[in-house]
């Protein structure tokens, strides 16, 4: 059985979560029972998301419906789930799909997201639709006219992915007008009034002539009540703007304390004083309201009586929670956008609240902001040849190539909330709804329980039992806390940026190198994704999970191409997330997505991994080594150039994930076949590059060369190899091949020469590679090799993150920088880069569990 706790906050509107199981313990078809902390049975819906090679369940997903949250739960394989008192139903009525949670009913059809939303027999909203605005030029700096074209999204297909009894998922696919393909998923839970809306769009325009000026979700809300019994609520930083369409407070004539209090609290105002009742028609009705979040630091509020009249400003604020409500005492609609201020520019609109049909719009890109401009940020600087581009790489670290800084095919996912109310909710209820939207409830197993399942390779629990261990644990905490602080003080927020971090620091300017070529946005370079997820697994910390979650949402969408010539590939680090000409599988790496998928069963993340169903075909699109090759090569389907490090590690992650999620035998055969081929090559992993036959999925094993890259092992290869070896797949030669590479990479040159006939060149990133030495030491039981690994990890021998008191260097501390040389005071750690932080984190986590007993305090 498995005990479960809430990640950070409990949820009462339904929740989905994942649980891992040790190999061979849960057979296919096993039912699950769930009990609350009081021992009472809780209805649960369960399904398998991954299997072990023997067919037993590796990961399962589970869902419960809306209900009062217990503090803890217990999940038991083999028990029969309790029958739900209320179930989600999904029915087809002609061309329409009707989904009911037992509280609210959504009718889907006619090309919109939803034709109608009802609560009981009362219609609350209708015509839920996607809207967009498009310009053919950028917004002028100093005024001028640019025509805008408005379009509504058209749903072209509807698919029921799950249909209860406790959770139903409906996928809608279509286009925003004649461009921007979208996928919308609607999540329904039994007994819930709230429906989660997950919107993903792929940008497929021409950046020189297509400028997105607005993107939103819109719904019409039925208004039945008297104007003074209609209410508007818009979220500030903590509480809500509390307005009525026709206000009764502050008037010269008093409607009565009971009426005033009732209106503010969202209840029927009741009978009004005759002095007010006879003059209601003379009180302005506020028809339109807008909350505009233009940056991470400020939103503005305004309202007006109707179109054609001036806006009246309302006191502004800093960071809106992104939630609102419009309706009346007989019902209305709650609406919002998760991470509203973090994903700026965003906006909430309420229009026509004084009419029979109000309209709300949640803008994912605010029409008030300048139109989205995705043109490349410089003119090429004359870099027309590979030689010139390599020179550019030497000075700004930017791998430029004409036409490659193209955003066509990148994507973005937003999470929205729509909640049908039978009356205006109280202020504390709205605050709870906004908090639940921004930090969705999740049930998790303890780190100890996840560790016992044997998933995700090499990691262990925090251990501060010795001063040396405690120092490393403190540094792991220091690094994570630093990035949380840096995201805030550097404002790493915005529509395309939120979730990513910067690559390298500029100590002279006391800022990150946001404008210097390949030193700007990180784009998963050297696997910060892996570091953060392993740190969450071992600590169970909610703040680590939320940081890793936002990174997974970003790097899986924005840094990867989802259509077009580079579909399935990602872009290396750059000033713009899509700017680099290096398009590789190492960025779209399934290894970075698996954690979030298995922990949450998130279907969109599943889509991202399904896009890599045949990852080997991406090597036909572009040769990653085209600028530095000394041989003659062009992509050949019978002999594709595949690096045995970053490339094969990413292929292996995609194939393994495909096999364990879908039972894909083709993926299994290619994984096992290439593992065997690497073991059969004369130089094994030291070969550096293999030639893959696309038809057979096998390497040419006759290739005999030695080629080492310092990056080969830093995009998930050690993690994948350890996981594959632990699976005990019976592939001859593979473990020996990997252990050889692990032993020799940091071995003394004399040992390298003695074993393979030459000294290995290209050796760097010493600290990062110490975990390879540690792995070999652990597998072979070699204490001397373990001591060597700790020496390479702890001492400053090259380009690594180590500032140790024993070397008479300063401690890991933040430095305050203030005064006129910086825009605002900052606390900096200029010795940290994301490369070093991520690899320090991964090496520390691996080494502590692999060779922790050999760690001394000296």
- DSSP secondary structure letters along 619-678: GGT--TTTTT-SS-----TTSEEEETTHHHHHHHHHHHHHHHHH--HHHHHHHHHHHHHH
- Beta strand spans in 668-803 (E): 689-693, 698-699
- Structure token pair of residue 762: 């290209």
How far, in Å, CA of 804 to CA of 801, rounded? 10
* Residue written as token pair 């003695």: 754
- Beta strand spans in 786-825 (E): 815-817
Residue 66 counted as domain residue: yes
Phi then psi for residue 423, to 5 deg, are -160, 170
Q: How many CB atoms within 10 Å of residue 228?
A: 24
Task: Say whether the peptide bond before residue 165 is cis (omega within 30 degrees of 0).
Answer: yes
What is the DSSP-derived secondary structure letter of residue 591? Answer: G
Q: In this structure, which long-range contacts are made by residues 774-778, counting pairs with CB atoms below 8 Å and at least 24 apart in sequence?
A: 774/843, 774/846, 774/847, 774/850, 774/851, 775/458, 775/718, 775/722, 775/739, 775/742, 775/846, 775/850, 776/739, 776/742, 776/743, 777/850, 777/851, 777/854, 778/850, 778/851
Beta bridge partners of 298: 295
Q: Is the dihedral of CA 773, 777, 778, 780 positive or negative?
A: positive
How far, in Å, CA of 190 to CA of 100, rounded? 8
Q: Consecutive 10-residue runs of the chain (858 residues): their mean pLDDT?
A: 96 97 96 94 98 98 96 95 95 95 97 96 97 95 87 96 97 96 98 98 97 98 98 96 97 96 96 95 97 98 97 96 98 98 98 98 98 97 95 96 97 98 97 97 98 97 96 96 98 98 97 98 98 98 98 98 97 98 97 98 98 95 87 87 96 98 98 98 97 97 95 97 97 97 97 96 93 98 97 76 51 93 95 96 98 90
- Structure token pair of residue 499: 């979730």
CA geometry: angle 532, 534, 540, nearest 5 deg: 90
39 CB burial (10 A radius; 0-12, 13-18, 19+): exposed
Q: Are 361 and 380 in contact (CB under 8 A)?
A: no
Largest CA distance in the chain: 102
Q: Side-chain half-sphere of 269: how many Cα atoms within 13 Å?
A: 28
Residue 724 counted as domain residue: no
Beta bridge partners of 2: 75
What is the SS3 assignment for 344?
Answer: coil
First-last CA distance in the chain: 42
How far, in Å, CA of 592 to CA of 557, rounded? 12
What is the DSSP-derived secondary structure letter of residue 518? Answer: G
How far, in Å, CA of 337 to CA of 552, rounded? 18
Residue 268 counted as domain residue: yes
In angstroms, how far is CA 524 from the centroid of its own chain?
12
* Residue written as token pair 């001859």: 732
Looking at the structure of the chain, the number of domains it has is: 2
Q: What's the pLDDT score for residue 187?
A: 98
Specify the DSSP element, H or E, that contains 274. Answer: helix 274-277
Q: Which of 19, 12, 15 is CA-nearest to residue 50?
A: 19
What is the SS3 assignment for 285?
Answer: coil
Residues shown for the chain: 858
Residue 52 counted as domain residue: yes
199 CB burial (10 A radius; 0-12, 13-18, 19+): buried
Q: Are 425 and 266 in contact (CB under 8 A)?
A: yes
Q: Are 724 and 660 in contact (CB under 8 A)?
A: no
Residue 489 counted as domain residue: no
Strands 357-365 and 346-351: antiparallel
Domain boundary among 77, 100, 119: 77
Domain boundary among 283, 307, 342: 283
CA distances from 8 to 36, 539, 553 (A): 17, 13, 19
Domain boundary among 44, 61, 77: 77
Q: Are 185 and 402 in contact (CB under 8 A)?
A: no
Residue 268: domain span: 247-283
Q: What's the pLDDT score for residue 808?
A: 40
- Structure token pair of residue 243: 């307005």
> Using CA atoms in the order 553, 555, 561, 562, what is the torsion angle rounded to 10 degrees?
-20
- Structure token pair of residue 250: 């502050």
* Residue written as token pair 């902390």: 37
Q: What's the pLDDT score for residue 798?
A: 60
Residue 633 counted as domain residue: no
CA distances from 559 to 363, 577, 763 (A): 23, 6, 28
192 CB burial (10 A radius; 0-12, 13-18, 19+): buried
Residue 634 counted as domain residue: no
């Amino acid at each position: 059985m498995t005990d479960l706790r809430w990640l950070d906050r409990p949820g009462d509107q339904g929740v989905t979560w994942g649980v891992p199981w040790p190999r061979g313990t849960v057979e296919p078809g096993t039912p699950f029972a769930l009990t609350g902390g009081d021992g009472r049975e809780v209805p649960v819906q369960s399904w398998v998301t991954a299997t072990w090679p023997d067919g037993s369940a590796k990961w399962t997903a589970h869902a419960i419906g809306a209900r009062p949250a217990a503090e803890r739960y217990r999940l038991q394989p083999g028990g029969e789930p309790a029958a739900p008192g209320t179930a989600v139903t999904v029915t087809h009525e002609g061309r329409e799909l009707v989904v009911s949670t037992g509280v609210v009913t959504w009718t889907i059809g006619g090309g919109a997201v939803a034709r109608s939303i009802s609560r009981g027999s009362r219609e609350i909203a209708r015509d839920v639709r996607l809207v967009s605005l498009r310009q053919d030029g950028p917004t002028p700096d100093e005024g001028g006219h640019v025509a805008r074209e408005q379009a509504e999204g058209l749903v072209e297909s509807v698919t029921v992915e799950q249909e209860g009894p406790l959770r139903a998922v409906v996928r809608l696919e279509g286009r925003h007008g004649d461009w921007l393909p979208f996928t919308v998923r609607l999540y329904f839970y039994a007994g819930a009034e709230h429906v989660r809306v997950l919107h993903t769009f792929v940008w497929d325009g021409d950046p020189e002539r297509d400028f997105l000026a607005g993107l939103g979700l819109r719904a019409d809300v039925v208004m039945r009540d008297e104007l003074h019994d209609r209410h508007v609520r818009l979220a500030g930083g903590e509480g809500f703007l509390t307005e009525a369409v026709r206000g009764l407070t502050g008037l010269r004539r008093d409607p009565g304390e009971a009426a005033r209090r009732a209106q503010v609290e969202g209840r029927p105002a009741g009978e009004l004083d005759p002095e007010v009742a006879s003059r209601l028609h003379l009180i302005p009705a506020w028809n339109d309201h807008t909350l505009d979040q233009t940056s991470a630091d400020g939103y503005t509020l305004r309202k007006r009586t109707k179109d054609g009249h001036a806006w009246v400003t309302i006191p502004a604020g800093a960071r809106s929670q992104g939630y609102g409500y419009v309706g009346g005492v007989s019902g209305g609609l709650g609406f919002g956008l998760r991470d509203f201020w973090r994903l700026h520019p965003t906006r909430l609109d309420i229009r026509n609240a004084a009419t029979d049909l109000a309209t709300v719009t949640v803008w994912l890109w605010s029409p008030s902001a300048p139109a989205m401009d995705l043109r490349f940020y410089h003119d090429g600087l004359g870099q027309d040849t590979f030689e010139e581009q390599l020179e550019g790489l030497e000075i700004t670290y930017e791998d430029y190539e004409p036409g490659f800084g193209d955003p066509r095919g990148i994507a973005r996912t937003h999470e929205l909330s729509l909640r049908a109310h039978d009356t205006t909710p109280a202020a504390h209820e709205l605050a709870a709804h906004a908090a639940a939207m921004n930090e969705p409830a999740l049930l998790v197993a303890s780190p100890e329980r996840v560790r016992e399942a044997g998933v995700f390779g090499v990691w262990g629990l925090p251990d501060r039992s010795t001063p040396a261990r405690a120092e490393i644990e403190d540094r792991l905490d220091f690094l994570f806390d630093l990035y949380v602080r840096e995201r805030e003080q550097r404002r790493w927020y915005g529509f395309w940026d939120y979730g990513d971090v910067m690559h390298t620091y500029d100590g002279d300017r006391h800022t990150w190198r946001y404008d210097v070529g390949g030193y700007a946005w990180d784009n998963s370079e050297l696997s910060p994704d892996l570091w953060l997820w392993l740190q969450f697994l071992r600590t169970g910390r909610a703040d680590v999970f939320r940081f890793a979650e936002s990174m997974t949402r970003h790097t899986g969408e924005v840094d990867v191409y989802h259509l077009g010539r580079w579909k399935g590939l990602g872009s290396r680090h750059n000033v713009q997330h899509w700017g680099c000409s290096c398009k590789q599988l190492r960025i779209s790496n399934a290894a970075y997505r698996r954690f979030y998928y298995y922990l949450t069963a998130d279907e969109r993340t599943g889509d991202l991994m399904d896009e890599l169903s045949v990852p080997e075909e991406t090597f036909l699109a572009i040769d990653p080594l085209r600028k530095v090759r000394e041989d003659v090569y062009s992509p050949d389907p019978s002999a594709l150039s595949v690096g045995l490090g970053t490339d094969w590690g990413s292929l292996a992650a995609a194939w393994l994930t495909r096999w364990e999620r879908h039972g894909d035998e083709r993926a299994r055969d290619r994984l096992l076949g290439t593992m065997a081929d690497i073991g059969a090559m004369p130089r094994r992993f030291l070969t550096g590059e293999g030639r893959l036959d696309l038809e057979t999925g096998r390497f040419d094993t006759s290739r005999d060369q030695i080629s080492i890259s310092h990056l080969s092992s830093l995009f998930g290869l050690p993690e994948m190899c350890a996981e594959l070896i632990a699976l005990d797949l019976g592939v001859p030669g593979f473990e020996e091949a990997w252990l050889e590479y692990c032993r020799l990479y940091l071995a003394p040159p004399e040992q390298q020469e003695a074993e393979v006939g030459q000294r290995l060149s290209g050796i760097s990133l010493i600290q990062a590679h110490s975990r390879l030495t540690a792995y070999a030491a652990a597998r072979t039981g070699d204490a001397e090799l373990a001591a060597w690994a700790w020496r390479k990890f702890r001492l400053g021998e090259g380009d690594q993150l180590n500032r140790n008191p024993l070397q008479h260097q300063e401690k890991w501390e933040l430095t305050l920088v203030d005064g006129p040389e910086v825009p605002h005071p900052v606390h900096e750690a200029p010795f940290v880069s994301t490369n070093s932080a991520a690899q320090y984190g991964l090496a520390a986590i691996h080494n502590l569990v692999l060779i922790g007993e050999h760690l001394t305090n000296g």
